[in-house]
């Protein structure tokens, strides 16, 4: 299995499906639909939707059925990026190498574009074709908790913001990473499993896999912020240190952080192997997350 | 039926249920939970949740079952107020007579508190006790479309923002009002009906009722902005004119606007009568919306 080929093909299908699921730019009112599309198509690697596909397919789900779910989760991820980049939060001008939503459309439209992408995500989840009503409801529940204030994405973002410039311990750092990035990545694996009708044992494996790669992903993100250039990264490099953000390299050093990311990746790969031969892309995705350079 | 008594009792129960459904202030991370509670308990009239209760009860729904649904909708309404009040949008310092969320907690936390209340709404909707999974899913769908970009709350807000200082015609004004305020008010009536297991004829009546009072509500809002003081209103009065916002009084004059609001109220009352004797609170709510002074 060539993971690069798998990911490239999946990305193309995700982009195509995102285009279908987002209102056209001409749809009234056009500004908000332009802003939503701008940020969704501003060059993401589509790690989350590809993870949904690979998790769902690992338990026998059909790609056609998994694609709208994958795209809905990419929309909620994009909402979080748009709001995180706002001047009142991380105040970032660049994301994925292009100007952030508020730099192009203004703050008001960026706030509303974020709100709209979260809302559109829930619209899509209630209408997933060929997924039972009970499963759709379970998926809405999964996503809403993964992005919520208690051990979810917003909770992690709040603690991250409040930790700037403070000395925080390993426990707080792990909370931030698990909640801010890990919870949604784990939900990708779990939702793929739900839509693919995974059994209890498979759901447990997918949850463990998701938790491991979720934390690995954020540790690699921290390392890249220290070791990469703004050009390579597509967003402002060295920003964590400048903002005095708590990171793995700051707490443990780059080498120990790399070791931790490798351990988590190996654990994820072991867990994915338990699911069986159809889980091979999950192994490749774990490797990709470890080795990525942007 | 004394509508004031009905509304006062319902409001008290809604406040009590909101308190149960929102995380405690001490819940980690505390700042976001304090901000969410601050805005939810900053003195709303609870028109939307009371409407959910009255609509659900009009078709035989039990209040105990309807209350969490009513509260979830109040949370999504509060999210929209917090984001609307932000400096980049309406830049309001006062809401319901008290400082707005961003004045107390800062812009970053206000943005995240809005996001969190929308997210919490969907969490609650997936877990409504004694409501079937199919109905919970239908309610998630209803709310997500009523608050979306196409003929929904965000769409109305976008057109409203973009119309500031411009001459707009009656069609655009009606679009803004129907989308920005009307869609969610109509969804309150419809969701109450769904949770109360309304039949098709009852759902149609509740939809028509909701649309009429939704538009009446916004026209009265516009009139109050012209005719009331900031003290009476609890928010900055005369703001629409200052911002050169399109309003009913600006387009038709105060008297014609009052007439239109009365007509819509009478239409809503007629429609509610079709539902039967249990719909009496809906009649009172329509009258309340017409006569309110803040």
Q: What is the CB neighbour count within 10 angstroms for residue A41?
A: 14
Q: What is the CB neighbour count within 10 angstroms for residue A279?
A: 23
Element (DSSP H or E) covering residue A118: helix A107-125
A-B CB pairs within 8 A amount to 151
CA distance A87 to chain B (A): 9
Select the residue of B31, B115, B140 nearest A83 (Cβ to Cβ): B115
Compare all CA atoms of chain B with the CA of A159 and give the residue at the minimum distance.
Answer: B29
* Cα(B57)–Cα(A222) distance, integer angstroms: 54
Give A29's contacts in chain B (Cβ within 8 Å): 149, 155, 158-159, 162
DSSP string computed for B219-237: HHHHHHHHHS-HHHHSS-T
Sequence-distant (6+) residues with CB within 8 A of B117 are: B36, B39, B40, B75, B76, B78, B79, B82
Q: Chain B, 155-184: which have a CB under 8 Å from a chain A CB?
A: 155, 157-159, 161-162
Q: Are strands B94-95 and A98-99 parallel, antiparallel or unpaired?
A: unpaired
Structure tokens at A209: 């896999």
Structure tokens at A284: 């490749």
Element (DSSP H or E) covering residue A98: strand A98-99
Correct CATH for A3-291 of 3.40.50.1820, 1.10.600.10, 1.10.8.60, 3.40.50.150: 1.10.600.10
**What tens digit of pLDDT does each residue of B2-53 get?**
899 999 999 999 999 999 999 999 999 999 999 999 999 998 899 999 999 9
Interchain contact B21–A (C-beta under 8 A): no
Select the residue of A88, A116, A150 nearest B148 (Cβ to Cβ): A116
Compare all CA atoms of chain B with the CA of A27 and give the residue at the minimum distance.
Answer: B150
pLDDT score of A227: 86
DSSP string computed for A60-82: T--HHHHHHHHHHHHHHHHHHHH
HEC string for B13-53:
HHHHHHHHHCCCCCCCCHHHHHHHHHHHCCCCCCHHHHHHH
Q: Chain B, 70-109: which have a CB under 8 Å from a chain A CB?
A: 79, 83, 86, 88-89, 106-109
Give A137's contacts in chain B (Cβ within 8 Å): 126, 133, 136-137, 140
Nearest to A202 by CA among A1, A55, A50: A55
Interchain contact A48–B (C-beta under 8 A): no
Structure tokens at B268: 């809503």
Phi-psi region of A130 (alpha: psi -120 to 50; beta: other; left: phi over 0): left
* Cα(B208)–Cα(B24) distance, integer angstroms: 38
CB contact under 8 A, A118 and B115: yes
pLDDT of chain A along its 294 residues, tens only?
589 999 999 999 999 999 999 999 999 999 999 999 999 999 889 999 999 999 999 999 999 999 999 999 999 999 999 999 999 999 999 988 899 999 999 999 999 999 999 999 999 999 999 999 999 999 999 999 999 999 999 999 999 999 988 888 899 999 999 999 999 999 999 999 999 999 999 999 999 999 999 999 999 999 998 887 666 666 666 777 666 777 899 899 999 999 999 999 999 999 999 999 999 999 999 999 999 877
The helix-helix angle for A153-163 and B107-125 (nearest 10°) equals 160
Select the residue of A23, A127, A155 nearest B150 (Cβ to Cβ): A23
Interchain contact A147–B (C-beta under 8 A): yes
Nearest to B81 by CA among B72, B66, B92: B92
Q: Has the ipTM of the complex gone over 0.85?
A: yes
Interchain contact A113–B (C-beta under 8 A): no
CB contact under 8 A, A150 and B123: no
Q: Is the pLDDT of residue B154 over 90?
A: yes
Contact A273, A283 (CB under 8 A): yes
């Amino acid at each position: 299995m060539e993971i690069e080929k798998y990911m490239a093909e999946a990305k193309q299908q995700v982009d195509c499906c995102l285009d279908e699921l987002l209102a056209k730019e001409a749809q009234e009112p056009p500004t908000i639909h332009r802003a939503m599309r701008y940020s969704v198509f501003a060059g993401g690697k589509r790690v989350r939707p590809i993870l949904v596909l690979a998790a769902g397919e690992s338990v026998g789900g059909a790609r056609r059925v998994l694609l709208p779910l994958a795209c809905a989760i990419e929309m909620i991820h994009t909402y979080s990026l748009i709001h995180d980049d706002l001047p009142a939060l991380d105040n970032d001008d660049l994301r994925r190498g292009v100007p952030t939503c508020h730099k192009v459309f203004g703050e008001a439209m960026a706030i509303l574009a974020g709100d709209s992408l979260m809302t559109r995500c829930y619209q899509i989840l209630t209408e997933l074709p060929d997924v039972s009503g009970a499963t759709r409801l379970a998926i809405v529940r999964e996503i809403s908790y993964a992005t919520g204030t208690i051990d979810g994405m917003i909770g992690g973002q709040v603690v991250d913001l409040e930790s700037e410039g403070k000395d925080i311990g390993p426990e707080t750092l792990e909370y931030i990473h698990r909640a801010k990035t890990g919870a949604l990545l784990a939900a990708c694996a779990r939702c793929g499993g739900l839509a693919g009708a995974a059994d209890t044992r498979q759901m447990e494996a997918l949850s463990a896999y998701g938790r491991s790669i979720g934390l690995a992903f954020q540790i690699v993100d921290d390392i890249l912020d220290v070791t990469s250039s703004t050009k390579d990264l597509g967003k402002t490099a060295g920003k964590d240190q400048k903002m005095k953000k708590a990171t793995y390299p700051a707490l443990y050093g780059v080498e120990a952080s790399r070791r931790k990311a490798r351990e988590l990746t190996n654990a994820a790969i072991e867990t994915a192997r338990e699911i069986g031969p159809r889980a091979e892309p999950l192994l490749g995705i774990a490797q990709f997350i470890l080795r990525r350079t942007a």
